[in-house]
Structure formats: C-alpha cells, structure tokens
Amino acid sequence: MSKQAELRCRCGEVVGEITNASPRTVNRVVCYCDDCQAFAHQLGRADLLNAQGGSDIVQVAPASLTFVKGQERIAGVRLTSKGLFRWHTTCCNTPVGNTLGPAIPFVGIVAQAFNTDTQRADQVFGAPVGAILGKYAIGEPPAGSTGLNLPLILRAIAKVIGWRLRGRTWPHPFFRPNTREPIYPATVLSPARREALRQHCGPHPAT
C-alpha cells in the first residue's frame, strides 16, 4: 500500500516528505561505487556505509519529494565538474539526494534518512532489490554485485522512463523549472581533493 514517508536528517533540522511511497513506486539498491564512498568520507559520514563500503539508496521520482523544513540548510557537492549533484544538509552532513539533473528524473536518497522513531525504511520501501558496482567493495564483493545485472538495470531504466512519461520530473526538489538551474548552492571538488578521498575507498582502502 502506498503512503507518505518522512525524510529526516540526523539532527532533525531538515525534513522532507515522500508521497506515494511503496516498494512498487521506488527502486532501492546498494551501490558500492567509489564515488558514493568518497562522498560519504567528504561529509565525514562513513557511518552511512555498510562494512563493505556500500550505500543503501532509495531512488524516487523528483516530484514525489518535497522539503518542508530546513531548506536553507541544503547544499550540494560534485566530485567532478560533470558528476552527480550530491545534495546534503549543512547542519549535520546528512545526504538528502543524488541527482544528475532534471533531464534524467531520479533522486537517490540514503535509506537511513527514512529511519525515524516511528518509521523504518524496510517497512516503507521493502528490502534492496540488488547491489551494483561490487568491484569497488571493501574486501570480498557481495554476491551478485559484480558483472552486468540486466534485470536491475532494466528496472532502473523503466522507473526513470515511467517517471518522465507520467510528468513526475516537476516540481523538482533541487532544480528550478524555468532555468533548470540548481536551487541550492553546489561546489565542485578540486582534483586534488577527489584524489585524496580515494585512499578511503575500496577495494583496498589505506585507512
């Protein structure tokens, strides 16, 4: 059954709402890529990674996410000039959405942001349907996370196409409809900083 889910940063200063939330309306995967690992370390939030460096991500339609509190505490980071916009809070460095841009309508949110006193991510969205980019995992790659997972890829593509066809791109929580520019400030990491973060990432982190 679809319902509304609450997104909340660690300190509670930023709150969002997801409408029509259910396992059927989202895509939930665990991503082991080194960019997701680097982002967590950039924020000082390695606690959000699992033991093998995976990020548990719930992908939702942009129009389903609305921030209702603390919008002034949202900012973005891009690991490269053409990389994902990785939005986070400035109060407690909680990731609140990864986006490519409005042309490809999806927002990926760490599952832990949905764990509150009265709600758990598993109860709302079900368990992850798979894992990707396990070649970057710390230690032994999780089963099924390496190689080409065609069903998982097709599921993700179908979700994005469906959201676009059904007009679920707008209103977008991170981009302005008239200019397609970001609503919140976003910075790009220097190549030196991005390279420095790699030492913390799998498959063989230095620290």
Residue 2: predicted pLDDT: 57
Q: How does pLDDT run across 137-157, given as a tens digit for each residue? A: 999 999 999 988 899 999 999
- Spatial distance between the Cα atoms of 201 and 170, rounded to a whole number of angstroms: 35
Work out the mean pLDDT of the chain and round it to a whole number.
96
99 contacts 84 by C-beta, under 8 angstroms: yes
Q: What is the pLDDT of residues 167-207, one digit of tens each?
A: 999 999 999 999 999 999 999 999 999 999 999 999 988 86
| DSSP codes, 63-81 | GGEEEEE-GGGEEEEESST
Residue 84 makes CB contacts below 8 A (sequence gap 6+) with 35, 78, 98, 99, 100
Which pair of tokens denotes residue 69? 């509190």
User: Of 12, 16, 31, which is closest to residue 174 (Cα–Cα)?
Assistant: 16
Predicted model pTM: 0.96
Q: Which residues pair with 107 in a beta bridge?
A: 60
Any idea what DSSP says for residue 182? B
Averaged pLDDT, 68-77: 98
User: 24 pLDDT exceeds 70?
Assistant: yes
Sign of CA dihedral 84, 105, 152, 9: positive
